[in-house]
Amino acid sequence: MYIREFQEMMERIYSHRDLKRGANGTYRWLKEEIEELGEAIQGEDKRIIEDEFADVIAWLASLANVLEIDLEKSAIRKYNDRCPKCRTSPCKCPSEIDAV
C-alpha cells in the first residue's frame, strides 16, 4: 500500500466525520495522538508504540483529506530521495540543525 492508497482508505472510512469536524478540530486530534506517541516511546511495549504510530498517520491523513492535500505528492516533492536543505543523500547538514 502506498501513502496515497492509505490516505484514500482513511477518506472512505472517516471523511464524513472529518469534514464535519473541520481542519482545526482534526489538527487537535493529531496533536493529541502525537502526545500519546511521545508517551508510548517512554515505555518499551512495541505494540503500543506501533498503535500510536498508526493513530498519528491516520490523523495526519484525515487532516490532509480535510484540507485536500495529497500527502504522497507533498512528501515526495519535498523529500525526493535527498535532504531538501543540503540536497544530498545521505544528508550532510551540520548536526546542530537537528537540535530542537
Contacting residues toward Zn ion, per CB under 5 A: 83, 85-86, 91, 93
74 vs 88 by CB, closer to Zn ion = 88
Q: Which H or E run contains 45? A: none
Smallest distance from Zn ion to CB 97, Å: 7
Smallest distance from Zn ion to CB 31, Å: 27
Smallest distance from Zn ion to CB 82, Å: 8
Smallest distance from Zn ion to CB 79, Å: 11
Which residues fall within 8 angstroms of residue 3, CB to CB, at 6 or more apart?
Answer: 71, 72, 75
> Is 24 in contact with 32 (CB distance < 8 Å)?
no
Q: Any idea what the Cα angle at residue 75 is, between residues 71 and 77, rounded to 5°?
A: 115
67 vs 93 by CB, closer to Zn ion = 93
Residue nearest to Zn ion (CB): 83
28 vs 85 by CB, closer to Zn ion = 85
Longest dimension (CA), the chain: 44
Please give the Cα distance from 44 to 84 (Å, whole number). 32
77 vs 85 by CB, closer to Zn ion = 85
